[in-house]
Structure 1
Amino acid sequence: MNMNLSGVKDQLAAMLKDRPPGTTADITEHTVIYWDGRQAVGAHVIADRPGFEESFDLDHHFLGDADEHLTHWFEDPKFSERPDLVAWLKARADRSAEQ
């Protein structure tokens, strides 16, 4: 499937923005997309312990790497509610506010 970055971002945003905070689009076992209140953003799930690595922008690099996974995901979207994502984002915001 040949995907357009703007279209992918718009579709993910539309699917996530009205869901509860902490909801993720589970693209792969270790890659999720969430709504940050302004846009769809990606994060890598840490494999060996609960939590997330740094978030990342949905850009052309991501689209190139994830094209096949996104194709499958859009055919059968899967979402999860992740309270640990809400806690992770709050902790990041608290650290930023302290600086």
Structure 2
Amino acid sequence: MDMNCDTLQAQLAMLLRDQPRGVTADLTDFAVAYWDGDQVAGVYLRDNGHLDEAFELDGTGFQHWHDEIAAWLANPCYTARPELLERRKERPPFEARV
């Protein structure tokens, strides 16, 4: 299945929007994606599986992660991460971040 980045981004966003808050798409064993209320966002995982540094899943990010996202779409795997909910509580709402 050969998909362009726009298609991957749209499919991943559609699937993540339907998930409860705090659920991630486990793209690899070291990177996950989640719906931040406005767009798909990425986060690296530390060795012990805890959330680490965020990364952009914009057009360039989707090009970089194309193969991983395409593989994930073929066999989606999600994880509920309470840590993500806590992290998001610390951030202001999207409108305030503008």
Relative to the length of structure 2, the TM-score reads 0.79
Give distance in 2, aligned partners of 1:52 and 1:72: 23
Q: Deviations over 1:24-65 (max 9, x none)?
A: 010001111100011111111122463321x22213432333
- Report which stretch shifted further, 61-70 or 84-93: 61-70
Give distance in 2, aligned partners of 1:24 and 1:49: 12
Give distance in 2, aligned partners of 1:74 and 1:2: 12
Q: How many positions carry a matched residue from both structures?
A: 94
Give distance in 1, aligned partners of 2:59 and 2:76: 21
Residue 20 of structure 2: aligned partner: 20
3-state secondary structure, aligned to 1:21:
coil
Point out where structure 1 has 5 or more consecutive residues left out of the alignment: none
Mapping of 1:30-45 within 5 angstroms? 30-45=30-45
Point out where structure 2 has 5 or more consecutive residues left out of the alignment: none
Moved segments of 4+, more than 6 Å: none
| Root-mean-square deviation (Å) | 2.2
Mapping of 1:1-99 within 5 angstroms? 2-48=2-48, 50-53=50-53, 55-93=54-92
Identity of aligned residues (%): 35
Cα distance change on mapping 1:75 and 1:19 into 2, 3 Å = same
Give distance in 2, aligned partners of 1:58 and 1:2: 19
CA contact (8 A) 1:28 1:69 kept: yes
- Report which stretch shifted further, 41-50 or 4-13: 41-50
